[in-house]
């Protein structure tokens, strides 16, 4: 599990507690997801390569560091992953955005694809795959498989809350990808919801409960 990082900064933990609370409404929920995603992205992207460039300040010429132009693609898993996009784009506004639409079957809990549109050059990009919930891991596993089929080798997966079952499934299916979570909860319930979790992320985000 050396490729699993729990991003438990106090600010993330505080906002995650607010996010979980059932009285948190959709507007607050979206704001919190956005803020948590930005805080998580700040940590998850800390290995971005740098290069040195020569610049001139008002005082002197100097050699300083700048991002080495590594190309990023941010890919939310619809619907709930959409809420994480702007938090990451605030940090890397030059990233391209792809979309993967998946929903979990209510009976089998297995994912079904209904949409996939990815940047053409995604195989040359570092991919940051976003979904606030990693429950059984079926959706994340399927999304990583699609992206790999396009030739991508460099994939990070970010979820706000993960279940141990989801981490296990995703890291066994795709041991090469790096998983970042804001918190790891106890378990899944019989309906494959994360306990204690936060309920249905998509419904809470978009007010479709």
Judged by the rule CB under 6 A, the positions of this chain that interact with ligand PRP are 77-80, 102-104, 109, 111, 131, 133-140, 166, 192, 200-202
Residue 42 binding ligand URA, by CB under 6 A: no
Please state, in angstroms and rounded to a whole number, the distance separating the CA atoms of residues 120 and 96. Answer: 10
194 binds, among ligand URA, ligand PRP, none (CB under 5 to 8 A by kind): ligand URA
97 torsion bin: left (phi>0), alpha (psi -120 to 50), beta (else): beta
Report helix, strand and coil shares of the chain as percent, to nearest 5.
35, 30, 35
Nearest residue to ligand PRP, using CB? 202
What three-state secondary structure class fits 80? coil
Tell me, yes or no, if 203 is annotated catalytic.
Answer: yes
| 105 assigned to active site | no
Residue 136 Cβ vs ligand PRP, minimum distance, rounded to whole Å: 3
Q: Binding string to ligand URA for residues 135 to 154, with x set by CB under 6 A, is what?
A: x-------------------
The count of chain residues that interact with ligand URA, using the rule CB under 6 A, is 8
**Residue 47 in 3-state DSSP?**
coil
Nearer CB in complex with ligand PRP: 104/174: 104
Give residue for tokens 């080495």.
68
169 vs 158: CA distance, rounded Å: 15
166 binds, options ligand PRP, ligand URA, none, Cβ within 5 to 8 A by partner type: ligand PRP
Could you say which of 20, 104, 125, 204 is catalytic? 104
Half-sphere exposure at residue 101, Cβ-oriented, CA atoms within 13 angstroms: 4
**Active-site annotation holds for 79:** no
Alpha carbon distance 97, 85 (integer Å): 8
Three-state SS at 150 = coil
Could you say which of 151, 197, 207, 209 contacts ligand URA (CB under 6 A)? 197
Question: Is 30 or 150 the residue whose CB approaches ligand URA more closely?
Answer: 30
104 in catalytic set? yes
**Residue of 17, 66, 108, 145 with catalytic role:** 108
Extract the tokens encoding 147.
């992206």
Query: Is 77:102 a contact under the CB 8 Å cutoff?
Result: yes
Active site residues: 104, 108, 200, 203
| Chain positions contacting ligand URA, by CB under 6 A | 133, 135, 193-194, 197, 200-202
């Amino acid at each position: 599990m050396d490729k699993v990082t729990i991003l438990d900064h106090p600010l993330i933990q505080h906002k995650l507690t607010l996010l979980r609370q059932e009285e948190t409404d959709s507007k607050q929920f979206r704001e919190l997801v956005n803020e948590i995603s930005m805080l998580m992205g700040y940590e998850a992207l800390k290995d971005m390569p740098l290069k040195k460039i020569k610049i001139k300040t008002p005082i002197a010429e100097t050699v300083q560091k700048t991002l080495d132009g590594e190309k990023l693609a941010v890919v939310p898993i619809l619907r709930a992953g959409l809420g994480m996009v702007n938090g990451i784009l605030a940090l890397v506004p030059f990233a391209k955005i792809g979309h993967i639409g998946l929903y979990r079957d209510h009976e089998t809990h297995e994912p079904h694809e209904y949409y996939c549109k990815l940047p053409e050059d995604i195989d040359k990009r570092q991919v940051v795959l976003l979904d606030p919930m990693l429950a059984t891991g079926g959706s994340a596993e399927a999304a990583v498989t699609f992206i790999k089929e396009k030739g991508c080798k460099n994939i990070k997966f970010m979820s706000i809350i993960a279940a141990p079952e989801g981490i296990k499934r995703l890291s066994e299916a795709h041991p090469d990808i790096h998983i970042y979570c804001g918190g790891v909860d106890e378990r899944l319930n019989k309906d494959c919801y994360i306990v204690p979790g936060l309920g249905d992320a998509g419904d809470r985000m978009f007010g479709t409960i």
